[in-house]
A and B are shown apart, each in its own frame.
Chain A
Amino acid sequence: MSWEVVIGLEIHAQLTTKSKIFSGASIAYGAAPNSQACAVDLGMPGMLPVVNHAVIDKGIALGLALNAELGKKQVFDRKNYFYPDLPKGYQTTQMDYPIVGKGYLDIEVDGETKRVGVTRAHLEEDAGKSNHGIVPGMTGIDLNRAGTPLLEIVSEPDLSSAQEAVAYARKMHELVTFLGICDGNMQEGSFRVDSNVSVRRPGEPLGTRAELKNINSFRFIEKAIEFEIERQIDLIESGGKVVQETRLYDSETNTTRSMRTKEEANDYRYFPCPDLLPVRITDEDIDAVRATMPELPDAKRARYVADLGLSEYDAGVLTSSRAMAEYFEALLEHTGGKDAKVCANWITSDLAGALNKAGLDIADSPISEQMLAGMINRIQDDTISGKIAKQVFDAMWKGEGSADEIIEAKGLKQITDTGAIEAMVDEVLANNPSQVEAYKGGQEKMMGYFVGQVMKASGGQANPGQVNKLLKEKLNS
């Protein structure tokens, strides 16, 4: 008998503001414990929250990107509960009036496009962190994270496989990083995905769901969901019942295990925060944000294919992050925009490969757009060959200077002097009489051999076009 899988995702995206959602304290990652928590974050008596308006703008940007309704009136609510790393005894969040209402995101799985509903996205503050084990027998509280602005993006339960869930999560990741509203760093917890998974027989009501929390890689999300689907189906088929609970994924064993059950629901006693007046956004506010938004990845990809003649694959790689797309577009600009395919190739093969090997992000590339453009320009004006360019690229990567400096220093300038090349051609033909014989006997593929020999003799610096031309002239004469 078949099963239907129902998955909904809750994504916490940490917003890229300089300061916290309700205070002026910094949110930079990795600082010494409690060095980035001010009196407001500590929940000290008399302290009051003030909304950092940058978070509102970032929420609007996401709403526009998801084609969503925007909350013209937003209310911040208090969610009351006790926890040692929750300084005020409540978390400020948005309950009934979130900044982003219903919207959608199109994903692609196996060549098919699927529209996934986004229920809402609301602003909230993060809590702090409990550190067990630093002081023996005690728990240390680090409130650096407390008050960090988050957007919680809740999907409809529209996803029906682990692959779809991951495609959605990746797409959302791409979107928030493109918008520049989240740095997307999953290791540092800037982008956290919780998956609600349930199974049911076709046509039956929704099954009991289990929640998989805070898994910090897309690969593990996929594996965890796959395991969880299997587990639930096996459980039901063997006569058991799924309980509503939070489960943790263990990447060592590729299994999930229970963290806590949700049988007893907390009463969070939500109510509007009386310290914060409702925030109203106007059409002008929305227009102002719209004006600053970048071209989104879907639109960019389509344009790269249609206008620049790139392949779907290249367009996909070049739009995999905003930094990547910006690099490509800058490169195109610096090379006069003549050959997008060449620019794309250098990025997707050589540069991406080198960055990958070095574990670097494109934003940290030792070869800037200007430098790479300088090199491509020298290929296009025949100063160097594509092959020599690889040498120049390696030298640039090692920090040996600009393309021009390297070509000059290493004497890599292409030989275009016909006399010099002719001499090398003559020598090669003279040294390989049997191959010449074979060519003349009809084996035209020997041409490649001759070209290779001449290039070798020139140390790779001979202009391959000229070499070809001269060889043909001599052999066919």
Chain B
Amino acid sequence: MLHTLSVKQMSEKLHAGEISSVELTQHYLDRISQFDPELNAYVTVTPELALEMAREADERLKNGSAGVLTGIPVAHKDIFCTDGVKTSCSSKMLDNFIAPYDAHVVALLKKAGMPILGKTNMDEFAMGSSSESSYYGPTKNPWDLNAVPGGSSGGAAAVIAANLAPMATGTDTGGSIRQPASFCGITGIKPTYGTVSRFGIIAYASSFDQAGPMTRSAEESAWMLNAMSAFDQRDSTCLEMERPDFAANLGDSLQGLKVGVPAEYFGDGLDPEVEKVVKDAIAEIEKLGATTVPVSLPNKDLAVPSYYVLAPAEASSNLSRYDGVRFGYRCENPADLQDLYKRSRAEGFGAEVKRRIMVGAYALSAGYYDAYYLKAQRLRRMVRDDFTNAFEQCDVIMGPVAPTPAFNIGEKTDDPTSMYLADLYTIPVNLGGFPGMSVPAGFANGRPVGLHIVGPYFSEAKLLNIGHQFQQVTDWHKQTPAQYQ
């Protein structure tokens, strides 16, 4: 059963010639045909592209130009522009959009030799915490088909959890890698803002969006981050600096590690079972030699309100280009220009996207700009400063990723505010641009729960090391829902 192998084992077998990439890729394509109709985790499957790339990978494996990920299939979130492949952002607006270029991340992973299995489902334009706002319908959580996989990278998390791809890309604007990783029992890391190029990633909120890997283990995430992070002059917010080898520290001992535990992250609203899982996980980390210190993030409650002003403000502007004029959806028989704009946008966007466009436009409007946008920017700095202060006392901060395990499909769709609160622990990290990771730490009510590890800028290698050490003494990341084993 090829899908039960770790990526490391796959890589070894590919390099030893025991299996071919075509064989491995076909195996995943078969599993997708078998299981995806029920999960709805893929928006587009690209078997021909995948097999062609697999053949090229096999050539490289033979001629000695292969790297560690050559031949390992990958699934891309449908927010990454992929040359010649439909890139819809799970929106009716872009249902007919075939990108004529590759996102930088896609190009880098192509260069690494990773065959593309297809594009994964997501919340429309990455707006959501459950992957229910997709134009193509909700993705289901492989652990419980009644539950959501989280969002917005819910499709990516589900394909990893159900072994419909060994590796996947995600993006995290307010928690969209970490929260679905937690809900689906996989490993995901959002690197420091500016580490991974945003070129070719369909923008939701530019100052928050950041891509990262979604895999089963921290070690695999480290390899994938190595492949997808490089300076890109086409993104002016992409940091021009040497990237470290993110896998170099995986073997480091956690002896002496100082873990900050913020009281504010264990207060009201946290599901007691989730709390227990997270505390047990921290205790496990202590057994590996770490010590805990209490830290304070006093402005935690300002993060969600600040985010829900700033992110929609940026989104309202970023999504203006979808006007029915040049590409994407256009309404039938527009009466005039205004009608073309209004109906194309009214018919092309889903409810959550429209809600955020309206909120964002309002926050930026004359007379409200100071009261909302500027004030939210100030809150953003206060939240960031909380972390900076905390990191003077500790190496990393640990806590829950989300207040609950995966909720049920439909449970929060009528109550946007309760949906927004699903991200209350992850959003502050995006406000500050810090790296954050979720690693599987146990189960609550039979649904997976992740441990949230947040570090200072450029501490990805350390976070991955902690995740990897944790995964040396636990096997939560090796658990697979029975039907996908």
A: residues with CB less than 8 A from B are 39, 42-51, 78, 80, 82, 84, 87-90, 141, 267, 269-271, 274-277
Contacts and interface: CB of A to CB of B under 8 A. Distances in A.
B369 interface: yes
B237 A275 contact: yes
A276 B236 CA distance: 6
B56 to A, nearest CB: 24
Given A39-B100, A80-B364, A45 B337 contact: no
Contact of A269 (B103, B199, B317, B326): B317
B321 A45 contact: yes
Given A48-B198, A275-B206, A88 B320 contact: yes
Given A44-B99, A80-B316, A274-B314, 8 more contacts: A39-B101, A45-B203, A48-B234, A50-B235, A80-B361, A80-B364, A141-B325, A275-B237
Interface string B320-331: 110101110000
A46 B198 CA distance: 8
B206 A89 contact: no
A43 B314 CA distance: 15
A45 B97 contact: yes
B7 interface: no
5 closest cross-chain pairs (CB), A and B:
A89-B320, A274-B206, A269-B364, A274-B207, A46-B200
A271 B365 contact: no
Interface string B92-121: 001001011101000000000000000000
B202 A45 contact: yes
Interface string B182-226: 000000000000000011111101110000000000000000000
Contact of B202 (A46, A49, A267, A276): A46
17 contacts: A42-B327, A45-B89, A45-B94, A46-B80, A48-B198, A48-B203, A50-B235, A80-B316, A80-B364, A82-B341, A88-B321, A269-B316, A271-B317, A274-B206, A275-B203, A276-B236, A277-B237
Contact of A46 (B203, B233, B364): B203
Nearest to B238: A48
A48 B103 CA distance: 11
Contacts, number: 98
A271 B99 contact: no
Nearest to B194: A277
Nearest to A275: B206
B380 to A, nearest CB: 12
A476 to B, nearest CB: 85
B307 to A, nearest CB: 13
A49 B236 contact: yes
A80 B361 CA distance: 10
Contacts of A47: 199-200
Contacts of B364: 80, 269-271
B87 interface: yes
Contacts of B319: 89
Contacts of A89: 317, 319-321, 323
A321 to B, nearest CB: 36
Interface in B151-208: 198-203, 205-207
Most buried by A among B87, B94, B201, B323: B323
A291 to B, nearest CB: 26
A80 B206 CA distance: 16
A297 B199 CA distance: 44
A51 B236 contact: yes
A80 B317 contact: yes
A80 B373 CA distance: 15
B335 interface: no
Interface in B255-274: none
Nearest to A268: B366
Nearest to A276: B236
B303 interface: no
Interface of B: 80-81, 87, 89, 94, 97, 99-101, 103, 198-203, 205-207, 233-237, 313-314, 316-317, 319-321, 323, 325-327, 337, 341, 361, 364-366, 369, 373
A141 B366 contact: no
A82 to B, nearest CB: 6
Contacts of A88: 320-321
A45 B99 CA distance: 8
Contacts of B316: 80, 269
A78 B317 contact: yes
Contacts of A48: 198-199, 203, 234-236
B237 A87 contact: no
Most buried by B among A39, A45, A49, A90: A45
A50 B327 CA distance: 22
Contacts of B313: 271
Contacts of B236: 48-51, 275-277
A46 B321 contact: no
Given A45-B202, A48-B198, A141-B325, A269 B314 contact: no
A349 to B, nearest CB: 53
B365 A269 contact: yes
A45 B314 contact: no
Contact of B87 (A45, A50, A271, A275): A45
Contacts of B233: 50
Contacts of B323: 82, 84, 89
Contacts of A270: 364, 369
Contacts of B94: 45
Given A45-B99, A78-B317, A87 B326 contact: yes
Contacts of A84: 323, 325, 337
A67 B425 CA distance: 51
Contacts of B198: 48
A90 B205 CA distance: 15
Contact of A80 (B103, B320, B327): B320
A141 B326 CA distance: 9
A42 B314 CA distance: 19
Contacts of B205: 274
Contacts of A82: 320, 323, 341
Contacts of A271: 313, 317, 364, 369, 373
Contacts of A78: 317
A90 B234 contact: no
Given A82-B320, A87-B321, A44 B369 contact: no
Nearest to B206: A274
B206 A43 contact: no
Most buried by B among A42, A87, A271, A277: A271
B463 to A, nearest CB: 25
B327 A44 contact: yes
A141 B89 CA distance: 26
A82 B118 CA distance: 34
A46 B81 contact: yes
Nearest to A79: B317
A275 B237 CA distance: 7
Nearest to B236: A50
Nearest to B80: A46
Nearest to A76: B236
A90 B320 contact: yes
Nearest to A88: B321
A46 B207 contact: no
Nearest to B337: A84
B353 to A, nearest CB: 14
Nearest to B88: A45
A333 to B, nearest CB: 42
Most buried by B among A51, A87, A275: A275
Contacts of B321: 43, 45, 87-89
Contacts of B325: 84, 141
Contacts of A49: 236
Nearest to A44: B327
Contacts of B87: 45-46
A389 B359 CA distance: 77
Contacts of B89: 45
Contacts of B200: 46-47
Contacts of A50: 233-236
A43 B320 CA distance: 10
Contacts of B327: 42, 44-45
